[in-house]
Amino acid sequence: MKVFVAGATGAIGRPVVRALRKRGHAVAGLTRDPGKRALLESLGAEALVTDALDADGLARAVAQSRATHVVQLLTALPPEGPLRASDLAATNALRTRGTENVIRAAVAAGVRRLVAESYMGVYGAADYDRPQDEEALAEAPEGGPFRDTVHTLRAHENRLREAREGGRIETVVLRFGAFYGPEVASTVALARRLRAGRMFAPRAARGVVSFIHVEDAAAAVVAALEHPAPGALYNVVDDRPMLLTEAFTEMAAAFGARAPRSLPLWLVRLVAPVPAIAAQARLPLSNARARRELGWSPAFPTLADGLRDVREKLPGAA
């Protein structure tokens, strides 16, 4: 395969490029930052520089790459993660205009398969009491900082589904859980805040999160590319959804820090409305379909397993 990776220098992009090269596939990596050309080349990828929101430039880049497969991993989140709705706007644009540009460029270049990132936030205002499969979408929120993102994620997935069902290109959507890993900027920032005693959590948070180590996420991307006949949609999460409060406790232990101090939920909403909403959402998800159909399974089946890897590789985490 020759794989064109859009978003190749991001949190999951780098592990995907490495995993593809390890499997012997040729890779062309897209970045909008000319300064990251050397990084892509150091990973063994052909480096192509353009903005995914530039439809013509993207079409030229995909055609130039002579790719047989495309991966869409486009995001533009702050290094420490989104705090307010405005922090999600750039990524929302990449999942609307950017997705349409990627589909058009891939179709025009005769690409066979497009594998695209989605996110567990697509499930909406969820309050699940057990792990859910890919069909269990909850109501979209009517307001709040996640409203536009949920609608954007659903539109993003619908565009990809329509392209598949219309026979334009074979698409596969991967709904990832919450990323973490030793190279993930938000994980590095979280470790720094925990060790400095500057991490706070909403009091009485009841949220449940489905996590995924970025190396396992990358392995799922490769599985979706290599499978002879993948399905259209998969949850990519580990085996054990966790209470957010429990996750924070495990993270603090892994980074040699005390557990976060708690603040009233109303106060967290004032300064960080996105994390406040996430702290109340209950999103336990099932990875059974990906295991069954793609032959994929997480090397780090629980957050505790993955944090051991982070502790070994993240400087100062032990």
Q: Which residues pair with 31 in a beta bridge?
A: 49
CB atoms within 10 A of CB 188: 20
CATH number, domain with residue 88: 3.40.50.720
Q: Output the pLDDT for position 316.
A: 58
Q: How far apart are CA 70 and CA 280, in angstroms?
A: 35
* Residue 147 domain flag: yes
Handedness of CA 61, 62, 66, 69 (dihedral sign): positive
Q: Output the pLDDT for position 214.
A: 98
* Residue 244 domain flag: yes
Instruction: Decide if 199 contacts 260 (C-beta within 8 A).
Output: yes
* Residue 182 domain flag: yes
Largest CA distance in the chain: 54
Q: How far apart are CA 184 and CA 307, in angstroms?
A: 12
H helices present in the chain, as ranges: 13-22, 37-42, 55-65, 89-93, 99-108, 147-165, 185-195, 214-226, 244-254, 265-271, 273-278, 288-289, 303-313
* Residue 273 domain flag: yes
Between the CA of residue 94 and those of 22, 45, 306, what are the distances in Å? 28, 22, 29
* Residue 178 domain flag: yes
Q: Output the pLDDT for position 318.
A: 47
Burial grade of 56 (CB within 10 A; 0-12, 13-18, 19 or more): exposed
Q: How far apart are CA 72 and CA 134, in angstroms?
A: 20
* Residue 260 domain flag: yes
pLDDT digits (tens, 9 = 90+) for 66-116: 999 999 999 999 998 999 999 999 999 999 999 999 999 999 999 999 999
Q: How many domains does the chain have?
A: 1
* Residue 295 domain flag: yes
Q: Output the pLDDT for position 200.
A: 87
Residue 96 gets which letter from DSSP? I
Indicate the pTM of the whole model. 0.96
- The tokens for 188 are 């590095």
Residue-range definition of the domain harbouring residue 93? 2-313
Q: Output the pLDDT for position 181.
A: 97
- The tokens for 225 are 């590319």
- The tokens for 118 are 């989605």
Q: Output the pLDDT for position 144.
A: 83
Find all residues with CB under 8 Å of 239, minimum gap 6, and list them. Answer: 287, 298, 301, 302
* Residue 318 domain flag: no
Q: Which residues of the chain have pLDDT under 50?
A: 317-318
* Residue type present at position 269: R
Q: What is the average pLDDT value for the chain, to the nearest integer? A: 94
Q: Output the pLDDT for position 74.
A: 97
